[in-house]
Structure 1
């Protein structure tokens, strides 16, 4: 793999569900363009030294004229962190799902689970149900936020299909 300053580099996560990161090569210490490369990441703005693996590809800037580069450059890469907090008390479980790092504004969903008196005590089941309900409510809030944003952008009431 070879790269030059200004090339775009994209690296898939080494774990399932991990973020795909993209950035711009800012330095190639070796004259022949071989790794490692110094990359400025689009999601954090930080620069790191990258030793690319099989999950990485380089898109040379030379393929596009400079005026076309921004127009055809794939979108940004984001990571939203969601924290789920679960509290159990007397056969009742409450979960709160909160977007910790993501869109502006406090976004959260709350879910509850209660076991029937005759059911055995299996805390994991209450945790799963309460967390799922909290995440569903959080998802509903995100959809509502998106609908409001689309409505504002197009100038009339819009509906986001799920």
Structure 2
């Protein structure tokens, strides 16, 4: 038997700049078919002396949001394993 599922991750980016500094926030949202959802968050800050390259802040913020989402998903899996087996999962 072969099954296939698609999981989609939505990325929302927001940037705020003031003078020579800027902050970029990212939210990575994962929704499953059963209605459950997880949201990872990340932020990047531009130092006043850094070149103004918004893509770098976006990349850093998104990577941090995805890392946060990954951590949360791993925790859900660990809880599901413990519930299914009665034995805590050790990473």
| Category of TM-score, reference length = shorter chain | 0.7 to 0.9
- In the TM superposition, what whole-angstrom CA distance separates every residue of 1:44-67 from its partner, at most 9, and x where no partner exists? xxxxxxxxxxxxxxxxxxxxxxxx
* Alignment coverage as a number of residue pairs: 87
Q: Give the gaps of 5 or more residues in structure 1.
A: 1-72
- Aligned counterpart for 2:77 among listed residues 119, 136, 146: 146
Higher strand proportion: 2
Larger Rg: 1
| TM-score under structure 1 length normalisation | 0.51
The aligned residue for residue 100 of structure 1 is: 31
Higher helix proportion: 2
1:25-104 matches, within 5 Å, as 73-74=1-2, 76-90=3-17, 91-102=22-33, 104=35
**CA-atom RMSD in angstroms:** 1.4
Q: Following the alignment from structure 2 to structure 1, what is the Cα–Cα distance between the partners of residues 13 and 31? A: 15
| TM-score under structure 2 length normalisation | 0.88
